[in-house]
Amino acid sequence: MRHLITTKDFSNDEILELFKYTKEYLDEKERNDLKGKSVTTIFFENSTRTQSSFETAARRLGAKVLKLDVSRSSSSKGETLFDTAANLDAMAPSAIIIRHKNSGVPHTLANYTHCPIINGGDGKHAHPTQALLDLFTIMEHFNYDVIGKKIAIIGDIKNSRVAASNLELLPRFGIDISLVAPPHFMPNYPIKKFYKLKDVIDDVDIIMSLRTQTERHNVPTYASLQDYANDFCITKELIKDKNIIILHPGPVHRNIDISDEVMVDKRSKVLAQVKNGVAIRMAVLKKLILER
Ligand code: NCD
């Protein structure tokens, strides 16, 4: 049985094949591929996009969705995560999608269940479907001609599972990554690093802005988000009329990550990412559930 815990779980060929289906699913039509199947979502961390995106994806393929409300579940009565998982598994879902604040939880749970586990984000570790939808958005924009394209990933890279998954995935398709962040948000990766946005802005095709992950900071290591914004917010003054695209996984801190004006600029792909996210999750669900 296959799981999707990190982007490493799929080969490049498999990803390109997923993208073929993803493209078809952009028509937003209802399908019956997963009729009779059931998909369970269990999100121990807040989510607006990812959970509803998976649920929309499952329903669009004809599956039933069981959304476990964690605040009302037995986890809040002291049941261990493994017992919760084993009990969910006993109801024989076709796939379980899990988000958890601790890295490694989806991987461990895969040993306790009999269906594919899909990681909807675990701690700082990985968020594979987000990176897949980011790559798909880039591929579509550049007509699949992405080798040598340059991306600047900007923000709280050290604490971001979205950055971690993109750092694994994008170079596999020939995309060149630079990291841009203040020192306290900079990870230890052996990769090009810049501490000022203006030092890279003339030399990139894609900007990926990330939210400051305040919930993962034990102690704040910076003065204020406004100080951060002064140096790292994507503004019109900064991008001028450059031929670039701007990505952000959401939730966006407006005027800290990206200015209001840039959010509605044609070069901002933020809502296209959300649309693509449903289609990529349809492709992932279909692959993992039907190819067992
Ligand atoms: C991201 C996440 O939860 O990792 N959001 C998302 O899934 N769209 C990014 C974030 O929370 O900053």
Instruction: State pLDDT tens for residues 114-162.
Output: 999 999 999 999 999 999 999 999 999 999 999 999 999 999 999 999 9
49 annotated as a binding-site residue: yes
Query: Is the CB–ligand 1 distance for residue 123 below 6 Å?
Result: no
The mean pLDDT of the chain is 94
154/168 Cα distance (integer angstroms): 16
Give the Å distance between the CA of 244 and the centre of ligand 1.
22
- Name the phi and psi angles at 167, rounded to 5: -65, -30
Tokens of 83: 């017992």
Look at residue 71 and tell me whether its pLDDT is greater than 80.
no
How far does the centroid of ligand 1 lie from the alpha carbon of residue 251, in Å? Answer: 7
Give yes or no for residue 127 CB within 6 A of ligand 1.
yes
Q: What is the pLDDT of residue 73?
A: 72
CA of 214 to the centre of ligand 1 (A): 12
pTM: 0.96
Residue 286, pLDDT score: 98
Instruction: Identify the band that residue 226 occupies on the pLDDT scale cut at 50, 70 and 90.
Output: confident
* Residue 50 confidence (pLDDT) above 80: yes
Q: 116: which 2 tokens?
A: 């594919």
* Gap between the Cα atoms of 6 and 11, Å rounded: 11
Residue 57: which residues within 8 A CB-CB, separation 6 or more?
A: 278, 279, 281, 282, 284, 285
Per-residue pLDDT for 37 more than 80?
A: yes
